[in-house]
């Protein structure tokens, strides 16, 4: 997954940032050895490796997981959301999949010691309304037990129609499903310190992004032509009349006019744009230019026209010139 990728390590540990970016250090032999192993490993696998420091309060979830690992299936729905479920379907008396930290009822089953015992699937459930938010890996077994024992359960499950258990879920449902309202702290682990995000389906949600255009410069109005926001607006306006796809880039001629452009064709467009840019300056295009060479072209052109390596590294966020020399310098 990481092979031939640019990797940015975000950590709240200043020493980790320093040892990665400086490729070692003198104060800690152990950390220097770890940095050396990491850099040797990444040399043949990654395009670049860099670390940045982030505030500890923004890294609380990862820090909590590294210090006190939790069971992957142990998560807790926000109490206010649970109250919404109970106000709609009735209040439960038993929590079937819980722990001392995540239970919403005093009577619950757990993987450890619990009032009703360990492993809800291995016991006969007590009478009365029940609430269940099982791990996805146990949904099929949970539905099987509900069907065989004739139980009625308030079940929290993801809307994943392609899963094999979804047919059983549909057949066993006694009421129309209700989509849980979205909130940032909907799911949590570690007594509420690790929040999860939920979208209600497997595909990412569309989000509105507000892009501000560069203000025109009175001294050089032509600079406004370089604004990507204005270029994007013009492109969308000119393709609106024949657009047949929601994808941003579409074909502008032939039988495929208005349809989405393939990745291969889009890559050709990028290479053609790079070649045209060099041609407009009366310079030969470097060999081996690809669609992913845009960052290489910008930094190499800056070096060839008098920019210092220090300024290039500072603008690109590279700790040392080695990254530029190894991966981005178009000779």
What pLDDT was estimated at residue 143? 92
Q: Measure the N-to-C terminal CA separation of the chain; round to a whole number of Å.
A: 29
Residue 80 has pLDDT above 60, yes or no: yes
What pLDDT digit, counting tens, does each position of 88-113 carry?
888 888 998 888 777 888 888 888 77
Give the mean model confidence (pLDDT) for residues 287-312: 83
How does residue 218 score in pLDDT terms, banded at 50, 70 and 90? Answer: low
Residue 202 has pLDDT above 60, yes or no: no
Residue 284 has pLDDT above 70, yes or no: yes
Give the mean model confidence (pLDDT) for residues 246-265: 89
What pLDDT was estimated at residue 66? 63
SS (H, E, C) the chain: CCCCCEEEEEECCHHHHHHHHCCCCCCCHHHHHHHHHHHHHHHCCCCEEEEEECCHHHHHHHHHHHHCCCCCCCCEECHHHHHHHHHHHCCCCEEEEECCCCCCCCEEEECCCCCCCECHHHCCCCCCCEEECCCHHHHHHHHHHHHHHCCCEEECCCCCCCCCCHHHHHHHCCCCCCCCCCCCCCEEECCCCEEECCCCCCCCCCCCCCCCCCCCCCCCHHHHHHCHHHHHHHHHHHHCCCCCCCCCCECCCCCCCCCECCHHHHHHHHHHHHHHHHHHCCCCCCCCCCHHHHHHHHHHHHHHCCCCHHHHHHHHCCCCHHHHHHHHCCC
Mean pLDDT score of the chain: 81
Residue 199 has pLDDT above 50, yes or no: no
What pLDDT was estimated at residue 61? 63
Q: How large a percentage of the chain has pLDDT more than 70?
A: 83
What pLDDT was estimated at residue 242? 92
How does residue 208 score in pLDDT terms, banded at 50, 70 and 90? Answer: low
How does residue 115 score in pLDDT terms, banded at 50, 70 and 90? Answer: confident
Q: Of 2 and 182, which is predicted with more confidence? A: 182
What pLDDT digit, counting tens, does each position of 239-248 carry?
999 999 888 8
Q: How large a percentage of the chain has pLDDT more than 90?
A: 7
What pLDDT digit, counting tens, does each position of 11-33 carry?
888 888 888 988 888 888 898 89
Q: What is the pTM of this model?
A: 0.44
Give the mean model confidence (pLDDT) for residues 173-193: 77
Give the mean model confidence (pLDDT) for residues 290-300: 82
């Amino acid at each position: 997954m990481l092979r031939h990728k640019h990797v940015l390590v975000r950590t709240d540990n200043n020493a980790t940032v320093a040892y990665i970016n400086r490729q070692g250090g003198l104060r800690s032999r152990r950390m220097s050895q770890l940095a050396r192993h990491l850099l040797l490993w990444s040399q043949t696998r990654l395009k670049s490796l860099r670390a940045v420091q982030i505030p500890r309060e923004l890294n609380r979830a990862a820090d909590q997981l590294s210090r006190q690992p939790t069971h992957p299936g142990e998560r807790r729905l926000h109490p206010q959301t649970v109250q919404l479920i109970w106000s709609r379907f009735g209040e439960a008396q038993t929590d079937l999949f819980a722990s001392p930290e995540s239970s919403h009822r005093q009577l619950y089953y757990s993987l450890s010691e619990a009032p009703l015992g360990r492993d809800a699937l291995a016991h006969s459930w007590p009478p009365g309304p029940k609430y269940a938010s099982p791990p996805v890996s146990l949904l099929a077994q949970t539905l099987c037990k509900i069907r065989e024992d004739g139980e009625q359960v308030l079940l929290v499950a993801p809307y994943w129609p392609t899963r094999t258990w979804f047919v059983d879920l549909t057949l066993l449902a006694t009421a129309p499903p209700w989509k849980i309202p979205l909130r940032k702290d909907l799911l949590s682990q570690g007594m509420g310190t690790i929040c999860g995000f939920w979208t209600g389906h497997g595909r990412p949600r569309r989000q509105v992004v507000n892009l501000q255009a560069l203000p025109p410069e009175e001294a050089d109005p032509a600079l406004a032509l370089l604004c990507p926001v204005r270029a994007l607006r013009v492109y969308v306006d000119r393709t609106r009349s024949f657009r047949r796809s929601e994808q941003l880039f579409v074909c502008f001629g032939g039988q495929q006019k208005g349809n989405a452009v393939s990745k291969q064709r889009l890559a050709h467009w990028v290479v053609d744009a790079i070649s045209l840019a060099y041609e407009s300056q009366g310079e030969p295009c470097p060999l081996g230019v690809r669609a992913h060479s845009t960052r290489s072209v910008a930094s190499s052109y800056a070096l060839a026209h008098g920019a210092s390596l220090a300024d290039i590294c500072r603008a690109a966020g590279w700790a040392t010139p080695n990254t530029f020399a190894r991966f981005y310098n178009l000779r």
